[in-house]
């Protein structure tokens, strides 16, 4: 065996009386195995003043599990309380997203490497943000149990409310919209969850998933009820499949999509449980690349999962320096950069809540579709 690399990638220090350093020296053994050397140094301050334990273990890891050479960069942006819903706009070369609890819409300008933020009177909380086909400067937002239309120039600190497009009514006053996206036909799919102020959202199933046909004169249709936290959704091209996340369910569902946008044949595409138990995080937002691979944000997991739709296995884990990873979207001039939103709810230190960019993944996506909205 020849060692090709001797670079440290992790160091852990304990209390003064017991110092422990882990030094991982990774070298290729073959196309499918890797070797790891681990060195322990322990000062017991007792009978043995210093004890060294040096040993080597071989890890047999499939190449598909090894991370690609990617880079993660924190972009200049406000630290969002609950960043969500990233969507790339080709026309402005910008990434739009929201701070749900901060009641703000944001735009990262790629050319300027700068993020602009705005608030809208009477619109709180906010999620998602949706681009409108043929109407630059207008955006569809979810706020509480309503879907509204707003104007924003992308730079000012204030936007303006134009009108309410959809109102779920008094029977849905206890919920708010969470994640939402537009399908290839220009229809908005958006889901709800119980308001956080009304109790433990992990224990309730008050949410629903709706479809809003803007081009059909404001109709909306119930697609799924009994949802806890309606979250990630995406439609890989040329698959006639729809993937959907209810975070509390700890899985990703797959559906066939009918011509009218209805869903049928629900199956579990991927179960996050490990040996029947929670992995310690839940799935949040989601996107896909041009090969149909899913990129799933993990709330509490500090990473994105890249899942192959054919093998239904995790191909890659993309580490993000924030615990609460909320969503992701491909963008950039070549559509090969992955933008990642995060949150800093609870006891989280910076850079939690920042916007990140991941490069070097060797994957491309497509711009998210815009909503077709009839006056």
Closest C-alpha to 190, from 305, 106, 285: 285
178 is in an annotated binding site: yes
Which tokens belong to 101?
A: 């609890």
Contact 351, 79 (CB under 8 A): yes
d(CA 196, CA 200): 7
Catalytic residue among 99, 251, 284, 289: 284
Give the chain's end-to-end CA distance (angstroms, integer).
69
176 is in an annotated binding site: yes
Give per-residue burial for 226-260: e unless 16+ CB within 10 Å, then b.
ebbbbbbbbbbeeeebbbbbbbbbbbbbbbebeee
Closest C-alpha to 181, from 230, 121, 116: 230
Which tokens belong to 246?
A: 């209810």
How distant, in Å, are the alpha carbons of 30, 38, 61, 234 from that of 57?
15, 8, 12, 40
Closest C-alpha to 130, from 110, 150, 112, 157: 150
Q: Please say if 121 is a catalytic residue.
A: no
d(CA 66, CA 316): 7
Which tokens belong to 147?
A: 């879907």
196 is in an annotated binding site: yes
284 is in an annotated binding site: yes
- Report, as residue numbers or ranges, the catalytic residues: 284
Which residues carry a binding-site annotation for substrate?
A: 176, 178, 196
Annotated binding site: 84, 176, 178, 196, 231, 284
């Amino acid at each position: 065996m020849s060692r090709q690399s001797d670079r440290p990638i992790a160091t852990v220090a304990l209390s003064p009386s017991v110092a422990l350093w882990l030094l991982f020296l990774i070298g290729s053994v073959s196309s499918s195995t890797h070797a790891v050397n681990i060195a322990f140094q322990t000062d017991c301050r007792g009978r043995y003043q210093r004890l060294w334990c040096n040993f080597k273990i071989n890890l047999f890891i499939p190449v598909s599990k090894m991370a690609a050479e990617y880079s993660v960069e924190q972009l200049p942006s406000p630290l969002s309380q609950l960043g969500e819903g990233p969507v790339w706009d080709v026309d402005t070369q910008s990434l739009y997203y929201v701070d749900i609890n901060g009641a703000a819409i944001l735009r990262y300008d790629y050319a300027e490497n700068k993020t602009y933020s705005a608030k809208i009177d009477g619109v709180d909380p906010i999620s998602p943000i949706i681009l409108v086909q043929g109407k630059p400067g207008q955006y569809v937002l979810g706020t509480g149990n309503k879907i509204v239309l707003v104007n924003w120039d992308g730079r000012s600190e204030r936007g303006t409310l134009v009108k309410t497009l959809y109102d779920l009514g008094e029977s849905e006053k206890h919920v708010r919209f969470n994640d939402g996206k537009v399908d290839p036909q220009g229809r908005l799919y958006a889901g709800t969850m119980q308001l956080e102020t009304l109790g433990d959202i992990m224990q309730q199933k008050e949410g629903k998933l709706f479809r809003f046909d803007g081009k059909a004169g404001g109709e909306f249709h119930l697609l799924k009820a009994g949802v806890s936290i309606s979250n990630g959704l995406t439609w890989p091209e040329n698959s006639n499949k729809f993937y959907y996340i209810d975070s509390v369910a700890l899985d990703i569902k797959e559906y066939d999509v009918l011509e009218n946008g209805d869903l049928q044949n629900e199956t579990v595409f991927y179960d996050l449980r490990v040996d029947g138990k929670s992995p310690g995080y839940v799935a949040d937002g989601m996107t896909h690349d041009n090969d149909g691979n899913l990129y799933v944000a993990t709330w509490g997991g500090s990473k994105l999962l890249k899942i192959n739709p054919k093998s239904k296995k995790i191909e890659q884990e993309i580490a993000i320096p924030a615990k609460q990873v909320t969503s992701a979207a491909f963008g950039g001039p070549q559509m090969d950069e992955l933008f990642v939103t995060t949150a800093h709810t609870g006891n989280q230190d910076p850079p939690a809540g920042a916007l990140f960019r991941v490069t070097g993944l060797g994957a491309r996506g497509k711009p998210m579709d815009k909503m077709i909205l009839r006056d």
